[in-house]
Amino acid sequence: MTMTSMTGHHMRLTALAMTMLLPSAGTSIANVALPTLAVEFGASSQDVQWVVIAYLLATTTIIVAAGRLGDMLGRRRILLIGIALFGAASAAAALAPSLWPLVAARAAQGLGSAIMMALAVAGVGDLVPKHRAGAAMGLLGSVSAVGTALGPSLGGALIAVSGWQAVFSCLALLAAATLVLGLLAFPRDRHPAGARIELDIPGIGSLAISLGAFALVTTLEVDLQSALLLAAVALVAVIAFVMIERSATAPLVQLGELRNRPLSAGLVAIGLISIIMMSTLVVSPFYLAHVLDLDPFATGLVMSVGPAVAALTGVPAGRVVDRIGGPRVSFIGLGGVIIGAALMVLLPAAAGVPGYIAALSSITAGYALFQSANNTSIMSGAAGDRRGAVSGLLALARNLGLISGASVMGAIFAGTSQLAIAGLPAGAEVGMRMTFLVATLIALAATMVTFWGTRRPVDPTPHS
């Protein structure tokens, strides 16, 4: 490889990495601003939560459509539009005069985020040689972890120095730099001029309704009647989506793809493992504060070990995938997640912070290994004209796992903690153990699903 081609390769990887960093940071950076926004706009804590929910809803509902749009109109073109939209929405958020314009800007920011998340992963297949795909996937995983970890600390520092507007101004500047880099680094699309474009509008609409209803029921504190209504809406919309896709001439999701064993198993497995990853974020603060008696600063410092381990593991994990193949690395990673989750259950509180860090490191390193291997395996099997849609499905499965983990595992922790408090002083410890007992079972289920996905189907034809 010549020096010029090496420079171009590194430039493309840097542009892809920045494209993954922005939506990851955008997810977490606004959370730390919520108390300040509530005071600034005189809003209730429930209303100000929409700053986070709007972003999450927009990202989740449109991510598959964003990937498919890139397949049809050109992934470079749509990716650059997504970066520009994210940057413009960030600038609008910084200039918002009141809460609801800010919420609208965050929704637009979420649309840009969906495009970037879907097409950054798809871009690996377009821009990176196949023998380097694992390393590139590992890099994107590392950058995603860095963005998630960096968001709260960077946001807190910006608010302390310049106010909440600086949070969104910073994202706008980063998006502008990423847009310039993308214009220079990404090669032009090869789509023929005048190619016919067919958008599956009914499919996009029904999927967006189902995902939106699901996201609302899992993120909002609603009464039972409202929850059942939203669940019913989601179910009806899913049924409508399947019926639409069966008859669509240019379906958003080719249902036949989901009969592909490695693809369907990979999507289910990443969703399950994402539930466990969210458990470490939702449950750990209570355990560290109430059982290990750490102050908020120490709690945040200990929790930052997880993203740090994931960030450091991502690129080496990808290189191992390139060397020995995705399936082996998937099982190694799943083994790490199982061991870490089991340690969370079995280690006594006397093991203290070192015991917790050991368990968390095993989970997050295992997750980084599994994600690199799983993403590489799925995307290497995707057809060139379907990479965007498949990447969107992959990101959707991960997001649904994170959303489900926040609600389901949070509910398990809350319920078991309250039951334990009646008879035991350390309710949070019991809640932690029960939550990660469930997480261990989920990791075992993900391993079984992955084993099923990597097995070759039995040839039904009898041999003479």
Domain boundaries, the chain: 1-191, 256-456
The correct answer on CATH 2.150.10.10 for the domain covering 256-456 is: no
Answer CATH for 1-191 from 1.10.3720.10, 1.20.1250.20, 3.30.200.20, 3.40.50.720: 1.20.1250.20
Mean pLDDT of 163-189: 92
Nearest partner of 177 among 15, 27, 29, 28, judged by Cα: 15
* Neighbour-count burial for 237-272, b at 16+ CB within 10 Å, e otherwise: bbebbeebbeebeebbbbeebeebebbbbbbbbbbb
| H-helix or E-strand spanning residue 40 | helix 34-41
Closest to 371 in 3D by CA, of 433, 318, 436: 318
The predicted-structure confidence for 355-401, as pLDDT tens digits, reads as follows: 999 999 999 999 989 988 998 888 887 777 778 888 888 888 888 88
- Confidence (pLDDT) at 451: 93
**Quick count: other Cβ atoms within 10 Å of Cβ 331?**
17
Q: What is the mean pLDDT of the chain?
A: 84
**Position 211 confidence tier, pLDDT thresholds 50, 70, 90:** confident
Q: What is the pTM for the complete model shown?
A: 0.82
* CA dihedral (376, 382, 388, 393) positive or negative: negative
Give the pLDDT band of residue 4 (cuts 50, 70, 90). very low
